[in-house]
Structure 1
Amino acid sequence: MLIRLVINNLFSFGNQKEFTTIPNKRLKTLNHHKYNLSDDFEILKLSSIYGANGAGKSNLIKSLELFQTLIVKEEIPYYLKKSKFKFGNIEKDNKQTFAIEFVQDKQPFYYGIVLNNNIIEEEELYLSGLGKKDDVMLFERKTNSDETTTINLTKSFEEDTKSQVLKSVLLEEFVKPTVPILKLLSKRDNKFLIDVKKAFSWFDDTLQIITPDSKPRALAHRIDTNKNFKKYAEDIMCSFNIGINSLNAEKKGIDEFFGKDNESEKDEIIKELENSPKSMVSLRNNLGDEFVVVKENGKIWVKGLEIEHKNASGKSVKFQLNEESDGTIRLLDFVPAFRSAISKEKVYFIDEIERSIHPLLIKELLRKFSLDESTKGQLIFTTHESNLLDQELFRQDEIWFAEKDLNGATDLYSLSDFKEHKTIDIQKGYLNGRYGSIPFLGNLKDLKWHEYDSN
């Protein structure tokens, strides 16, 4: 679960900005939106982020996605290398900071990383005391200007002889100045690094990010192997009244799928499958259809999603994913997201949640999640859809705004900062510019665009 996120000198974030899911204590509405952690520490299950085009709200999710890639794949993404705040002093302001506080398996953590010209200058992981007791260091890593790295770990680790041998080997052979060590330490079989494994699993598994270009992942496999999920997915999609009758998995043996003309490609996929930690490989054709390669009962299968509609005479007709509308594909992507957020302690970040979806439909989806008192996960999203600004669905501290200041830097602030009454029409206030974070519209007449007409 996410507690807070801090970003500095990244994309449109100039000075340090913080996004948090900690509830405002003065607010008493929608109390079931608060999850109680240890020592009566609470976090919120929903957050929406509004802002004009170019205000930087998507940059919050983009920043998190890039650092997730950096940590999980152990490489600096290309976009991260060119991501400094460009309205600052680029020659002087080299350091970029990313810090996050989160909960994994009931344990709160704090993780921070500082990049300096794409060198990881500092990296640290602590057991968080949530501001009520001291944080406990799990590791600290520093890299100097000569690109020499030092690591400090827990007292128990440092006093253990075998662990010291492990540390020496890691520093000599594996630690690189451009690569985080969180994953490296999490993969070691050492009893003093158990909490590091937990922390890494938050980035690797708990955190899920859906961008506007995302496609449904492993949906065919889940539908084929999980009857409860198949029923849930069909119930959801059929309730939207978009013509879908059922969801099915088309299943072929790998030899049949690739044929005799693609033996080399097939061999590469089999090799990748054998090395996959999840025993699954995802493929996409040039039309955007996903196929999942899995090994079951000693045989390798390729599964693809089939979407069944009925024509006017009631006859079933099968469609591939690329034949569906953008809105249908987007909804299919949301099916596992909402399912997981309801039943598991997952954290979903969704950029432009309303994209290609009717406003009434997305509001009804969020209403169901908002009013459900038994949810376990978090849903955090960006949107332009003012129809969602409803205090029956969101607490004031769950509504955030992104707006650029005079220096072109993104500022983040919550509706709860305005101390509005719980009965006020916040949608009307937002559209009237009461909270900022809306586009400044010029007078179209003054643009004189007819002067550019040509014969």
Structure 2
Amino acid sequence: MLVEFRVANFRSLRDEQRLSLVASRDKTLQDTHVVRTGLQAAPGVLRSAVIYGANASGKSNLVKALQYMRGVVAESAIVIQPGQTFAVQPFRLDARSASEPTAFEVTFILGGVRYQYGFSMTSQRIVSEHLLVYKAFKPQRWYERHYDAQAGKDVYEFGAGLKGSKSLWVKATRPNALFLSMAVQLNSDALRPVFDWFVQGLVIFNEQEKLSPDFSIQMLQQADGRRQICDFLSAADISISDIEVVTRKVPGQAVHLDLVAGKTEVRSEEIEERQLRFSHVTGQGQAVFDLLDESHGTRNLLFLAGPVLDILRKGLTLVIDELDTSLHTLLVRELVRLFHRPEINIGGAQLIFTTHDTSLLDAPDLFRRDQVWFVEKDHDQTSELVSLSEFSPRKNEALERGYLMGRYGGIPFLDSRLGEQR
């Protein structure tokens, strides 16, 4: 479970911003919206969080920051080549920030243990890296790395908690690679859970990683998965009783590369095509429709159903940018409530998403105050992330109206001359 994410000097997020999923002392909806961890520092962790902000406010940059951090963890040891630079984007509207490192840090809970991992980087290299492990209230510093510019080398400090071939891992870690990533590639069992949380435990959908129908279609080809997805759609009040995957051969072309002759040949051959058939049943009758006959929202919900069901089963963290662009507001509400149902979300899965849908703010029992965040861009073009809890709204306060009036920030600054002819 994600406990906290910190980022500094990434795109519009110049100053350090913190997204926390630690539940406040508020007892509201505690049994459904909060997971009890048994840990003293974070006794309760929220099952969901929603982030509001005007267009270009920086809320998408927050998602991209977490996505970029995950990418560096996943790829720095095996994809990034020696001497290759990173495409990291610091805040560029002042000279000081443009030349300073970008920093990321996450705190998460896995198997009852709290991990705090972070690093800072420039386009040229990793500048610092650290890992704290809380097997008790007092942390164990497993390792810390920082670049000594005068000596021109990385300096490492290790704690007793990290076991394994540390000298081998240090020797193999390039300036443009994370120690964590390289050590896992060289079979560090101790660091593998941290690496796997990023690569397998964190699922992100945005403009850079779009939702694919493949996972849901694979589930539909299995009897149990087919039933789960149909039940999922029925719970969203969509009158689909069954979905059939029809596979057929169609004419196509395939590219074949002859490495010996050094030639590329395009051949005509049959390829498999999968079609979906939707059975609708109402009180007046029934009919079968193709995928394109279904609404855009139904298609998106179907493609989201497979990943969501898998995430709920495995207890993963799902992050979606602008969820409301693909789903109707009522479907968004039902999706959020699915994560809040302990009998379904037994693994502690989390949903974090950005949206413009202000009606969610006043939906009955949908969010606690500590689950709502706002991103606002200042006049110097830096983004600031603020929790609704900091404004101490009354229990019966009309949050949507307050937000649209600018009481909590996160709305666009509109020029009174907008629309005038000049």
Same fold (TM over 0.5): yes
Structure 1 distance, partners of 2:153, 2:255, is: 46
TM-score, normalised to structure 1, is: 0.77
Instruction: Report if aligned partners of 2:339, 2:349 keep a CA contact under 8 Å in 1.
Output: no
Aligned pairs, number = 396
- Correspondence for 1:297: none
Worse overlay, 339-348 or 54-63: 339-348
Structure 2 distance, partners of 1:265, 1:377, is: 44
**SS of structure 1 residue aligned to 2:71:** helix
1:220 pairs with one of 213, 217, 221: 217
Structure 1 distance, partners of 2:160, 2:339, is: 44
Structure 2 distance, partners of 1:203, 1:82, is: 18
Equivalent residue runs for 1:416-455 within 5 Å:
416-443=389-416, 447-449=419-421
- Correspondence for 2:126: 120
Structure 2 distance, partners of 1:85, 1:124, is: 23
Shift of the 251–380 alpha-carbon distance from structure 1 to 2, 3 Å rule, reads same
Shift of the 148–305 alpha-carbon distance from structure 1 to 2, 3 Å rule, reads farther
Structure 1 distance, partners of 2:258, 2:352, is: 39
- Correspondence for 1:381: 353
Structure 1 distance, partners of 2:275, 2:316, is: 24
Instruction: Report if aligned partners of 1:76, 1:118 keep a CA contact under 8 Å in 2.
Output: no
Equivalent residue runs for 1:186-205 within 5 Å:
186-189=184-187, 193-205=188-200
Unaligned runs of 5+ in 2: 260-270
For residues 146-186 of structure 1, the C-alpha deviation after alignment (integer angstroms, 9 at most, x for no partner) is 7633444443767x7xx36xx33x444x3211121222212
**SS of structure 2 residue aligned to 1:264:** strand
Quick check: 1:206 aligned with 2:201? yes
- Correspondence for 1:277: none
Q: CA deviation at 1:266?
A: 12
Q: CA deviation at 1:223?
A: 2.3
Shift of the 263–434 alpha-carbon distance from structure 1 to 2, 3 Å rule, reads closer
**SS of structure 1 residue aligned to 2:116:** strand
Structure 2 distance, partners of 1:257, 1:98, is: 48
Q: CA deviation at 1:93?
A: 3.6
Instruction: Report if aligned partners of 1:2, 1:102 keep a CA contact under 8 Å in 2.
Output: yes
- Correspondence for 1:2: 2
Shift of the 126–4 alpha-carbon distance from structure 1 to 2, 3 Å rule, reads same
- Correspondence for 2:142: 138
2:101 pairs with one of 74, 79, 95: 95
- Correspondence for 2:327: 357
Partner AA of 2:67 in structure 1: E
Shift of the 153–397 alpha-carbon distance from structure 1 to 2, 3 Å rule, reads same
Structure 2 distance, partners of 1:397, 1:205, is: 27
1:148 pairs with one of 150, 153, 158: 153
Higher helix share: 1
- Correspondence for 1:284: none
Instruction: Report if aligned partners of 1:14, 1:88 keep a CA contact under 8 Å in 2.
Output: no
Structure 2 distance, partners of 1:440, 1:91, is: 25
For residues 369-395 of structure 1, the C-alpha deviation after alignment (integer angstroms, 9 at most, x for no partner) is 335565221111101101100361110
1:347 pairs with one of 317, 324, 327: 317
Quick check: 1:246 aligned with 2:246? no
**SS of structure 2 residue aligned to 1:306:** strand
Partner AA of 1:116 in structure 2: T
Instruction: Report if aligned partners of 2:374, 2:388 keep a CA contact under 8 Å in 1.
Output: yes
Structure 1 distance, partners of 2:318, 2:156, is: 32
Structure 2 distance, partners of 1:216, 1:73, is: 25
Q: CA deviation at 1:86?
A: 1.7
- Correspondence for 1:16: 16
Q: CA deviation at 1:62?
A: 0.7
**SS of structure 2 residue aligned to 1:400:** strand
Unaligned runs of 5+ in 1: 268-300
Q: CA deviation at 1:317?
A: 4.2
Equivalent residue runs for 1:27-426 within 5 Å:
27-32=26-31, 33-40=33-40, 41-74=43-76, 75=79, 81-90=87-96, 93-128=99-134, 133-145=137-149, 148-155=153-160, 163=165, 167-168=167-168, 170-172=169-171, 174-189=172-187, 193-212=188-207, 213-225=210-222, 227-238=223-234, 240=236, 244-251=240-247, 262=254, 264=256, 304=274, 306-309=276-279, 314=286, 316-319=288-291, 325-372=295-342, 375=345, 376-390=348-362, 392-426=365-399
TM-score, normalised to structure 2, is: 0.82
For residues 19-42 of structure 1, the C-alpha deviation after alignment (integer angstroms, 9 at most, x for no partner) is 1001122x1201122212133422
Structure 1 distance, partners of 2:392, 2:257, is: 60
In percent, how many aligned pairs have the same letter? 25
Partner AA of 2:153 in structure 1: T
Shift of the 342–142 alpha-carbon distance from structure 1 to 2, 3 Å rule, reads same
Structure 2 distance, partners of 1:302, 1:103, is: 42
For residues 383-429 of structure 1, the C-alpha deviation after alignment (integer angstroms, 9 at most, x for no partner) is 11011003611100000000112321111111111111222211111
Pairwise CA RMSD: 3.3
